[in-house]
Structure 1
């Protein structure tokens, strides 16, 4: 499985009563497909995996698969308690997903041997390939990833830790295993800000929550990134992404809350976030609206050469 484009992590819309709104999800995903994402990752971090029931995750994944219609890969979130992760892997396969993103185990920490076993059991639960999420309680060593790379069903790693030295060692270790098909991508919050460094490590792909909110600008950044237009890329970082990150860092969980708020501001009523996340206050919403206005202006400016 190969990805070509921004990796799109959609939000999960909720109605006024807090229930999952599949109609809005379909509209959200469909409207972003025209911007050519490299893959769609429903019910993952941006989609509030932590707050969804198993039935809700299955419904979200199934609706996404239906809308995408095979145009790009659909990768379902799984993870948490081992039993839940195994069950969700099977449900994702039944829903038509193409692969799994294995989020970290819930609450408990374990040694590396336990993490390897966790991933291998999730991989064995269905026929779907698995991408490892390197974050939180799931911190993998280079030796562990070399071992997991020996399993052909483990096809990639998403780095959400941000230790560039460790990430470089993992890239080298997997390379030594002979896996030329292994996919690496930067999964840090607002990954655009760090992707210049990650490319130098041999991690060319990145996830983009901003793509869910303002796909025109996220696509402009991606086109500048792949074409080597550093002047444009740095301008987009300086004028849009850096202010967004400063706002995001004010409150834990704003990596998701701001995205949902921005989508609402742009006209799609995707609802609030579920606890323990919180919505932005009025002043923060006003600042987000200002940042998005800058982003729209930049996207319009670069549309003829980068987005069209």
Structure 2
């Protein structure tokens, strides 16, 4: 995965070839000009287009009224994460138009839907912590009105999150998941019509249905088996260091997703520490790549290029595994 659109596209493509990366994973920001697509072609690389469905700061800067509203009654904006309300049909229409343009500029081997969920900053949520403390969205008037119509109940607007979680949690979770599934179906359908044969992937939170009192459904709105039915592979964002977990936890989570969806799963490997104190040593990076290769994954996804470019000793470990 690569994020910084200011990087030298040709140097990036050369590094990928040198390290044994065959399918760089790009976000749509790299398609605003031809540099990256041309560089990948020159070096004989495939591409993976990762679409950040509801995470769209540029759109929200132009349309601030489209922000999701969180359970605390504020805009869904935390650090780099800025979330559009999932009930905004006009936003979705524009996102589909953008997708058409991106697929006209790039012929990716894989397209994945990322942020195909409701707002929650899961990277900072402890798996052994209280689910009641999770800030989620969306509780805007549009979402609340649609939910009322769907469930036939009137919600107390003084504190809608508290009211829903006390009285209507199951129908709320089901409604949120249905909306996300509808959006995924529309986007995947568009991709299939425009570029049949592309492998489809869906990014999911690293939570089981039993974790955090079912927060993957009630907070994030992700029905993982339902989303997986529309895709060829599932990419659970199972980062051990980021979440303070063990390699055994990761094995169990990926096995659970594989068993519950019937689809192959991707294996993320984190190059540098994020959100928690400590670091990831070269030896740990090497061991996790070994674990990844032994797990029969649909893909191994390294996070991220900018970190590996700054740490040549870790890039060398990548080369060791994939360019023997």
* TM-score normalised by L of structure 2: 0.47
